[in-house]
Amino acid sequence: MTIDSIAISKLTERLGYQFNTPALLVQALTHRSFAANNNERLEFLGDSALNFIVAHQLFQRFSKLPEGDLSRLRAQLVKESTLSEIALSLELGDALKLGEGELKSAGWRRPSILADALEAIIGAVYLDGGFASVESLILKLYQDKLAQIDPKLIDKDPKSQLQEYLQGKKIDLPDYKVVSINGEAHAQIFKIECVIEKCAISTLGEGTSRRIAEQQAAQLALEKIKDDR
């Protein structure tokens, strides 16, 4: 066995998944600095699989949490530093295929490279074994992190806070209106107005998704309400 194939067989063991097509795992470990046939497309696929499966886990486990909280919990679980931490625990760096420049600059321990490769592995497992396989891989990788979440420690998001405040005062819920959407499809900027007629409040939020813009507008409305009291 070569050093490479030893690293890959150790990684396979830690993943707890045996590939039907081992070439998929090799591709998932191939950084763009090494070859044109690299892991970037698999990363795109794996990223979305991870987002979905983690969303479902949070949805199931926290049946009372509003979507804003679920969204924030997920962001914590799928962010680069969390992914690279999991990748380190798998000793994924040993099995990476990196170009010379990346080898010189210790690319095997760079968080972005580790996180991308882990997402690519997730994509590769989905292609290789289907949905059930990738779901159980993610459950295995995230077992501890999912178990450690304490929903009581989540700050309520601004929209939920505003809604609860208004419901407590028996005031109609705010109206969120799209003011404008600008930019290219993959990098749009949304402007959303939050209107609370009864309080004569109108605020403007901005962000790269409707959700983020709404939260910002709600935050500003909350601040206005506090100022008015």
Residue numbers at the binding site for a copy of itself (CB under 8 A): 32-33, 40-41, 43-45, 48-49, 51-52, 55-56, 59, 65-67, 70-72, 75-76, 79-80, 99, 101, 111-112, 123, 126, 131, 163, 172-173, 175-176, 178, 181, 184-188, 207-208, 210, 212, 215
Nearest approach, Cβ of 177 to a copy of itself (angstroms)?
Answer: 9
Nearer to a copy of itself, 7 or 125 (CB): 125
Q: In terms of CB distance, is 14 or 45 closer to a copy of itself?
A: 45
Q: For residue 71, which amino acid is it? A: S
Nearer to a copy of itself, 70 or 90 (CB): 70
| 47: annotated active-site residue | yes
Q: List CB contacts of 188: < 8 A, sequence separation 6 or more.
A: 181, 182, 208
- Shortest Cβ 44–a copy of itself spacing (Å): 4
Closest approach of a copy of itself to the CB of residue 215, in Å: 8
Find the catalytic residue in 69, 102, 119, 157.
Answer: 119
- Smallest distance, Å, CB 34 to a copy of itself? 10
**Closer residue to a copy of itself in complex, CB, 45/201:** 45
Residue 116 annotated to the active site: no
Q: State the catalytic residue, choosing from 43, 47, 116, 135.
A: 47
**What does the alpha-carbon distance between residue 124 and residue 181 come to, in Å, rounded to a whole number?**
35
Minimum distance from CB of 20 to a copy of itself (Å)? 17
Nearer to a copy of itself, 14 or 212 (CB): 212
Can you give the chain as a three-state secondary structure string? CCHHHHHHHHHHHHHCCCCCCHHHHHHHCECCCCCCCCCHHHHHHHHHHHHHHHHHHHHHHCCCCCHHHHHHHHHHHHCHHHHHHHHHHCCHHHHCECCHHHHHCCHHHCHHHHHHHHHHHHHHHHHHHCHHHHHHHHHHHHHHHHHHCCHHHCCCCHHHHHHHHHHHCCCCCCEEEEEEEECCHHHCEEEEEEEEHHHCEEEEEEECCHHHHHHHHHHHHHHHHHHHC
Q: Could you list the active site residues?
A: 47, 119
